[in-house]
Amino acid sequence: MTISSSLNAGVQGLAVNSTRLGTIANNIANADTYGYKRAETDFVSLVIEGNSSSFAAGGVRVLTSREVSAQGSLITTGNATDLAIAGPGFLPVTEEGAINDTNRDLLLTTTGSFEQDQNGYLKTPGGLVLLGWRAGPDGNIGAVTRQGVADLEPVRVNTSQFQSSPTTLINMGVNLPADQTVAGAAGTVYDMPVDYIDNLGRNQTMTAIFTPVVPATGASNEWNVEFLDNSSGTPVSVGTFNITFQDNPANGGSVDTVTTTGGGLVYDPATGRINVNLPSGPVDVFVGQSGDISGLVQVAANFTPANLDFDGVSVGELEGIEINSSGLLQAVYNTGFRQTLYQIPVAAVQNANGLIAENNQAFRLSQDSGGMYLWDAGTGPVGETVGFSLMESTVDIASELTALIETQRAYSSNARIIQTVDEILQETTNIIR
């Protein structure tokens, strides 16, 4: 019956507009919630089967969805671990209670204000724990599973952590006086301290002793060099080698030959490095290749350590952690040393708007969303990770207030339909009387 169908349509109109009012209210309430994605309400008509010459009001039903793929603006904060994504993609997180679960649930979010808790985990105030791939001791990320969560771990940083980087290369740029390798020279022996960092992060020193070979006649252009390590408190010889220099017009003063003579030293002519076995581990010392003047040289000048440096960093205390645009989470020490601890991947989802919304601006994969793939930040279809930043809500207050007025009008109109049908039915009842 058309009158009864009109009544049903009016009732359904009230119901769907109530739902729309709820989404608008929730959007406005979360206008300042970081990472919030606006909820959308759509109406679809219902049709009662009939023929072309008749009509009955089928009514309306409501469909709600979230614009998860919409991106909010990024704002700058003062916290290094406030994290957002500049572009498409999601950060992998899990709930605090699932940290120790073998098959922990994967949740996704676009931003989060992460702080270290009492156990060192990076966690939001709402209890979402950041996930990432753990780096090896060398700071590299090995082979990982990108279509699942098998290799993802809760990000945890030891706040009392100390770290150092031992020396692996010493560059030795020294001028050896040419007048000490000619006949009749005094044969002055020179020594020079060479600093390095051992495997425990301690500053150590070895001594390089340069002894000229004085010939009976002419010039030898030859020196014997010995390394003495002082880490034990007593100088201990760790190797010797012999080096000769060219004296031709084209390459005068440059290295000619290098020959190791003791202590297990190994010289690589391709790199110009001598491998020295120190008590704390092997270290390469660059002395120069044949024809090279960037290492040891011999010219008519005083003994001069012109360029002496080494890599490695002494033990330092953790100052903080930072996440760069590639998703690398690095520990920063007061010595200036940085160590990569984790890589935070960015998840790409086939249909982001099909994700299921959870608490704390997190989302869960669903059949409608399809699968996901974990990319390195800033590669493929995903954006870069941005530290010191949070993503604002995608709610536009002006649009919501406009929709609120429209919803109020629509609700009143549907209420008027019910009132009108009631009056018509009342008139029908009066006829019977």
- Please tell me whether the overall predicted TM-score, pTM, comes out greater than 0.85 for this model: no
Q: What is the pLDDT of residues 359-376, one digit of tens each?
A: 999 999 999 999 999 999
Q: What share of the chain is helix, strand, coil (3-state, %, to 5)?
A: 15, 40, 40
Q: What is the pLDDT of residues 341-350, one digit of tens each?
A: 999 999 999 9
pLDDT for the residue numbered 433: 62
H/E run at residue 298? strand 296-299
Bin 380: left if φ > 0, else alpha if -120 < ψ < 50, else beta.
Answer: left
**Judging by beta carbons within 10 Å of its beta carbon (0-12, 13-18, 19+), is residue 109 exposed, middle or buried?**
buried
Ordered by where they begin, the domains of the chain are 2-67+394-432 (no CATH), 74-157+337-391 (no CATH), 167-311 (2.60.98)
pLDDT for the residue numbered 430: 77
Instruction: State the Cα–Cα distance between residues 336 and 74, nearest whole angstrom.
Output: 29
pLDDT for the residue numbered 57: 53
pLDDT for the residue numbered 2: 67
pLDDT for the residue numbered 251: 87
Mean local confidence (pLDDT), 258-283: 95
pLDDT for the residue numbered 160: 64
Q: Does residue 266 register a pLDDT over 80?
A: yes
CB atoms closer than 10 angstroms to residue 54: 8
Q: What is the pLDDT of residues 287-317, one digit of tens each?
A: 999 998 999 999 999 999 988 899 988 877 7
pLDDT for the residue numbered 320: 87
